[in-house]
């Protein structure tokens, strides 16, 4: 199994925020740079296969998914905030609740509130550079599967991406790595299914493909009645227009256990088989395991082995894109457990 990884991700580290009068305390930002480094070290130690840096596919695949004005803000917000407001932190304090007119503010404060939907995703000095290269990580993994016929590739992305939509960001996500890779594969003539296995619903991915039939989206996650992102991820969201019937959500209640999760997985895999995709993308967040402090499920870590083995049986070329997982001692171990089960003993690198 080939892993793609951008070591420069450490340049974006919300955990290091120390500016006086920061609107939100640094501990709210649940994506410290150490999280990606910890997963990388675990994958390296497990010797699952080669680990390389991504190729540069340019901004074009990103621009296929995200709107120009949104990308412009991500690239320039930190510099504008430093010049206009003498601040090193670009974080909104007001948000667009309802779209009531066609006007987009020119102020950096206004644009932050226009494109962000929460206060957990600061734009720092190197945010754009790091987000850009992690989108390339995902495309590089997709390109390997597409061109060389390998069965599994792992995109170790950090920051994650599945909360970022076509023109919005939040949940520590800036660019939607999975969606960028999926669209790139569609342009190569592939039929793509996405399975989101994060504790929190992939609202950005859903928004991107909600009106489309050439990408199937299935997500197993905590019930948004009680958990982030609250306003998306309900079971009656099936898509719109030509995309109706290509979006399936499986929200699980608090204290859901292994049987609940595996039943939802079986249902999602039935949808995927009926879709007959050429390739599967898995948005992987190991934060649904009970050891992760972010969740309220009762699913032990060894369930990751069962999930990985179940997914291996569908025998589809697969790109795994890293999403969530709270910084904790067992984070890297849980990712390795899933990847090892997915690739199977026969394909395990000695």
DSSP 169-195: BBTTBSS-HHHHHHHHHHHTT--EEEE
Question: Taking 50 as the threshold, does the pLDDT of residue 27 lie above it?
Answer: no
Instruction: Tell me what the mean pLDDT of segment 158-182 comes to.
Output: 96
pLDDT, tens digit, 9 for 90 and up, residues 187-243: 999 999 999 999 999 999 999 999 999 999 999 999 999 999 999 999 999 999 999
- Which residue in this structure is represented by tokens 């102020």? 107
Instruction: Check pLDDT > 80 for residue 114.
Output: yes
Q: Classify domain 2-66+126-347 by CATH number.
A: 3.40.800.20
Q: What are phi and psi of 321, to 5 degrees?
A: -110, 125
Predicted confidence (pLDDT) at residue 135 exceeds the cutoff of 80: yes
- The confidence score (pLDDT) of residue 99 equals 64
- pLDDT the model gives residue 110: 87
Range with lowest mean pLDDT among 117-121, 153-157, 282-286: 117-121
Q: What is the H or E stretch that residue 220 is in? A: strand 215-222
Residue owning tokens 């619903």: 201
**Residue of 298, 295, 206, 302 lying closest to 250 (CA atoms):** 206
> Using alpha carbons only, how large is the chain's radius of gyration in Å?
19
Instruction: Map out the domains of the chain as residue ranges.
Output: 2-66+126-347
Residue-averaged pLDDT of the chain: 91
Helix (H, G, I), strand (E, B) or coil at 31: coil
280 DSSP β-pair partners: 193, 318
> Do residues 267 and 250 make contact, with C-beta atoms less than 8 angstroms apart?
yes
Cβ-proximal residues to 343 (8 Å cutoff; 6+ apart), any chain: 1, 48, 151, 152, 312
Q: Tell me if 273 sits within 8 A of 188, measured CB to CB.
A: no
Q: From the centroid of its chain, how far is CA 184?
A: 16
Is residue 291 pLDDT above 70, yes or no? Answer: yes
193, β-bridge pairs: 216, 280
Q: What pLDDT was estimated at residue 321? A: 98
Question: How large is the average pLDDT for residues 61-76?
Answer: 96
Q: What is the DSSP letter of 10?
A: G
**CB-CB contact of 282 with 319 (8 Å):** yes
181, 305 contact by CB (below 8 A): no
Q: What percent of the chain has pLDDT over 70?
A: 93
Catalytic status, residue 163 = yes
Stated as kind and residue range, the H or E segment containing 270 is helix 258-275
**Cβ proximity of 322 and 329 under 8 Å:** no
Q: Is the pLDDT of residue 94 over 90?
A: no
**pTM of the predicted structure, to 2 decimals:** 0.93
Question: Higher confidence at residue 133 or residue 28?
Answer: 133
So what's the pLDDT on residue 250? 98
Q: Of 12, 66, 162, 163, which residue is the catalytic one?
A: 163
Contact present, 185 and 142 (Cβ < 8 Å) = yes
- 103 Cβ contact partners less than 8 Å away, ≥ 6 residues apart: none
Residue 55 has pLDDT above 60, yes or no: yes
User: For the chain, first and last CA: distance in Å?
Assistant: 11
Asked whether the predicted pLDDT for residue 347 surpasses 60, the reply is no
What pLDDT was estimated at residue 349? 38
Give whole-number Cα distances, 205 to 99, 144, 170, 274, 308, in Å: 21, 22, 12, 21, 22
Taking the C-alpha atoms of residue 342 and residue 116, their distance in angstroms, rounded to an integer, is 35
Distance CA 267, CA 252 (A): 13
Q: What is the spatial distance between Cα 340 and Cα 304, in angstroms, rounded to a whole number?
A: 10
Query: Which residue bears the tokens 């342009």?
Result: 187
Cβ contacts of residue 263 below 8 Å, gap of 6+? Answer: none
pLDDT of residue 348: 44
Q: Give me the helices (H) in 15-96, please.
A: 33-46, 60-63, 68-85
């Amino acid at each position: 199994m080939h892993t793609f990884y951008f070591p420069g991700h450490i340049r974006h580290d919300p955990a290091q925020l120390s500016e006086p009068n920061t609107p939100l305390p640094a501990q709210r930002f649940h994506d410290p740079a150490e999280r990606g480094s910890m997963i990388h070290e675990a994958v390296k130690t497990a010797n699952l296969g080669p680990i390389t840096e991504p190729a540069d596919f340019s901004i074009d695949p990103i621009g296929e998914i995200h709107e120009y004005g949104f990308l412009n803000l991500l690239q320039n917000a930190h510099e504008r905030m430093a010049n206009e407001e003498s601040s090193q932190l670009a974080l909104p304090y007001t948000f667009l609740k309802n779209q009531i007119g066609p006007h987009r503010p020119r102020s950096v404060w206004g644009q932050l509130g226009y494109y962000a939907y929460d206060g957990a995703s600061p734009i720092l000095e190197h945010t754009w550079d790091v987000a850009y290269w992690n989108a390339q990580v995902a495309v590089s993994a997709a390109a390997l599967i597409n061109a060389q016929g390998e069965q599994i590739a792992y995109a170790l992305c950090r920051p994650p991406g599945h909360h970022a939509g076509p023109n919005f960001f939040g949940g520590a996500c800036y660019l939607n790595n999975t969606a960028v890779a999926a669209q790139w594969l569609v342009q190569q003539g592939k039929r793509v299914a996405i399975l989101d296995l994060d504790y929190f619903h992939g609202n950005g991915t859903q928004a991107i493909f909600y009106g489309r039939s050439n990408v199937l989206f299935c997500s197993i996650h905590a019930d948004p009645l009680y958990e982030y992102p609250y306003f998306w991820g309900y079971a009656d969201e099936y898509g719109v227009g030509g995309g109706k019937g290509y979006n399936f959500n499986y929200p699980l209640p608090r204290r859901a256990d292994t049987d609940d999760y595996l039943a939802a997985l079986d249902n999602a895999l039935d949808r995927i088989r009926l879709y007959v995709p050429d390739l599967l993308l898995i948005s992987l967040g190991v934060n649904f395991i009970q050891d992760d402090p972010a969740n309220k499920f009762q699913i032990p870590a060894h369930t990751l082995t069962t999930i990985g083995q179940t997914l291996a049986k569908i025998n589809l070329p697969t790109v795994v894109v890293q999403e969530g997982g709270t910084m904790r001692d067992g984070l890297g171990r849980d990712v390795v457990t899933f990847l090892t089960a997915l690739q199977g003993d026969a394909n395990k690198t000695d």
